[in-house]
Amino acid sequence: MKKLANLARVQTAADVLLLYPKESLIDQIDLWSQRHPERCVKTSIERSLPRIRSLLHCVDMVTIDATYNPSQATDAFLQAMMCLGASKVAMYTEVMHDGLELFIRTHGSLFFLGPLFAEQWEGVFKHRLRAEARLQIVRPIPTAKIFQSHVGWGQGKA
């Protein structure tokens, strides 16, 4: 099995987490990551739901491979939805499974029937990473910070 060029195995922030990736998905993402050395890709075959949740706190988006074990992938999908939200979670498979696509799309996440071409992955990550950056820019300032910045107004010298 190929290793991704910029694979992170330590508990650090990553752009993309691949859960349960098989060789085909790893090869596809490896091509993308070689063109984007500034991006960090993590892989995991973790089965423990608490451990999956801890991995999700350190990533921007997750793609789950459901090719060989759709029930395990569905469990991980639900955890990812709770931690990251629908726009940051995608399901990938190379085999159609009854009801899987409808389940994923009903929750508002992306569903990929692979394998995908390099240009398709490029478009997916470009759109998803750009959306993440846009969300970070327009996040509202917490109310406590606004309140602190206004304390003392009107108390100046007359």
- pLDDT given for residue 140 in this prediction: 46
Q: What pTM was computed for the model?
A: 0.75
Is the Cβ–Cβ distance between 16 and 39 less than 8 Å? Answer: yes
From first to last of the 158 residues of the chain, give the pLDDT tens digit. 445 544 444 344 578 999 999 999 999 999 988 988 888 899 999 999 899 999 998 888 999 999 999 999 999 999 999 999 999 999 999 999 999 999 999 999 999 999 999 889 999 888 776 655 544 444 444 444 444 444 444 444 44
CB 21, CB 73: distance < 8 Å: no
Per-domain boundaries in the chain:
14-138
In this structure, what are the phi and psi dihedrals at residue 82, rounded to the nearest 5 degrees?
-65, -40
Q: With contact defined as beta carbons under 8 Å apart, do 93 and 112 qualify? A: yes
CATH architecture assignment, domain 14-138: 3-Layer(aba) Sandwich (3.40)
Beta-strand pair 14-19/41-44: parallel
